[in-house]
Structure 1
């Protein structure tokens, strides 16, 4: 638990410094374009919160030998493998000039490094016909790279509202840590606890009143570490069903797959073209935002944060069963299917303006813009 506590403290303090010094780096770190198709925030704040999470992870890993018998070499190697994915995201946060394809290549490079350095390669998905092919090393590495890069990008896709990606990933890391503890996998458990603490320190600055955003760097870093822990958990522990990874991370994974289907198949547009039709965006625009005074900064900030609560609950449809039935493929498959059904039914209902009554929010509460935040530029 010292991993969690130290990660939390360091992350909180680093982000405190980022927020307080925003006047010095705001011209680079803030996203002043608040009118884009996927922009739902009321004011500009630094979008480099991922720097605090990465710093907290690094400090905790280097300090771990002080209280643990383990040298921490495995954690350090994983941190080094994450550098390309994290760097690609942070550079985009600061310059706004790194294309999605380049960031995807960075994620693939990180995944390849983990395959080669940490032997983090999937050799089974608990489907006999597929597992036969995965035993061939080049195929196994290629499959793992695609899966890791896909989940890394998926976390970035769900990062659209205050606390949405951060709390969702905390729930997933908590599940990973529990399963790792159950199978005595100290490496995976210690990194999961570190990530829970580091992300937790960020959440206090991001929810419910945002003083900082996760940014692409933070989303890619968190997504990559999550994906690799799932790969390591399955590769190192035969008792853990490969379906556990799908069930526990089904929300970001299915959000990505459904977005590709919706854009490419339904609308005939490029799969990577951004739009405002993600489920979390629809929940905000057609449910949470009802009755909102668009010019009221305080209302907008509060409603933004309320949106995330719906998606946290939805993510638990997959996370909760996966946590307790991590060794039962049938239960894990059922949880995955149940999530897909709930997601699609909810999406269709909201698209057709038939949102369930229990989702409607009308309460208003005052929210004060945090220090360092900027109002939208007109």
Structure 2
């Protein structure tokens, strides 16, 4: 548990410095684009909160020998693999000039590095016909790279509201840590606890009143580490069902797949084209903000945060059963199906303007913008 505690402290302090020094680097790090199709924030704050999380994840393995007999070599090797995807995201946060294709290549490069350096290559998904193909090394590596890169990008897709991606991934890391403890996988458990603490230090600066955003760098970093821990958990522990990875991470995974279907099949647009039709955006626009003054920046900030709570609860539909039935494929498949069913039902109801009344929030207390936050530029 010391990994969690120290990870929290280091992340909190680094982000404290980022927030307090925003006047020095704000021209590079502030998220001034508040009117984009996927933007739902009330004011500009730094979008490099992922730097604090990455710093904590790096420091803890270095000082870990002070309280643990096992070295932090495995964690440091995993962090080394994460450098390409994290760097691509941070550079995009500061320059807005890194294309989605380049960031995808960075994610693939990080996934390949993990395959080669940590032997994190999937050879089973617990489907006999597929497993036979995955045992062919190039196919296994290619499949793993696509899966890791896809989940990495999926976390970035759900990162649109205060505390949404960060708390959902904390819940997933908590599940991973529990399962790793159950099978005595110290490496995975240690890294999962570190990430819980590091993300927790960020959440206090981001929710409910944001002083910093996760940014692409943070979302990609968290998503990559999460994906790799799931791969390592399955590769290193035959008793863990491969279906566990699908069930525990079904929310970001299905959000991505559903978005691709909606854009390519339904609307005939490029799969990577941004839109404002994600479930979290619809919840914000048609459930949380319904009946409330949309021109009040203070209320808008709180509505943003309240939106995340809906999705936290929804994500637990699959995370909770996956955590306790990690070795039971039927239960895991059932959890994933239950999530998809509820997701689609809610999505269709909101789109058709038939939102259940019990979902609608009709008022919020005002929120004061944090010190140093900037009003939107017109």
TM-score (norm 1): 0.99
**Runs of at least 4 residues of structure 1 off by over 6 A?**
none
Note if contact 2:154-2:223 (Cα within 8 Å) is conserved in structure 1.
yes
1:1-378 to 2 correspondences below 5 Å: 1-378=1-378
Unaligned runs of 5+ in 2: none
Query: Per-residue deviation at 1:295?
Result: 2.2
CA deviation profile, 1:265-316 (whole Å, cap 9, x unmatched): 0000000000000000000001111122222111000000000000000000
Note if contact 2:84-2:109 (Cα within 8 Å) is conserved in structure 1.
yes
Note if contact 2:292-2:363 (Cα within 8 Å) is conserved in structure 1.
no
Query: Per-residue deviation at 1:200?
Result: 0.1
Cα distance between partner residues in 2 of 1:356 and 1:116:
50
Cα distance between partner residues in 2 of 1:180 and 1:361:
38
Cα distance between partner residues in 2 of 1:128 and 1:374:
55
Query: Per-residue deviation at 1:133?
Result: 0.2
Note if contact 2:123-2:135 (Cα within 8 Å) is conserved in structure 1.
yes
Count of matched residue positions in the alignment of Structure 1 and Structure 2: 378
> Is the partner of 1:69 in helix, strand or coil?
coil
> Is the partner of 2:35 in helix, strand or coil?
coil
> Is the partner of 1:203 in helix, strand or coil?
helix
Query: Per-residue deviation at 1:33?
Result: 1.3
Cα distance between partner residues in 2 of 1:235 and 1:226:
14
Cα distance between partner residues in 2 of 1:100 and 1:292:
35
Cα distance between partner residues in 2 of 1:120 and 1:221:
17
Cα distance between partner residues in 2 of 1:169 and 1:358:
26
TM-score (norm 2): 0.99
Query: Per-residue deviation at 1:156?
Result: 0.1
Cα distance between partner residues in 2 of 1:106 and 1:206:
26
Query: Per-residue deviation at 1:241?
Result: 0.1
Cα distance between partner residues in 2 of 1:292 and 1:116:
53
Note if contact 2:234-2:240 (Cα within 8 Å) is conserved in structure 1.
yes
Cα distance between partner residues in 2 of 1:364 and 1:125:
45
RMSD: 0.5
Query: Per-residue deviation at 1:72?
Result: 1.1
Cα distance between partner residues in 1 of 2:101 and 2:289:
33
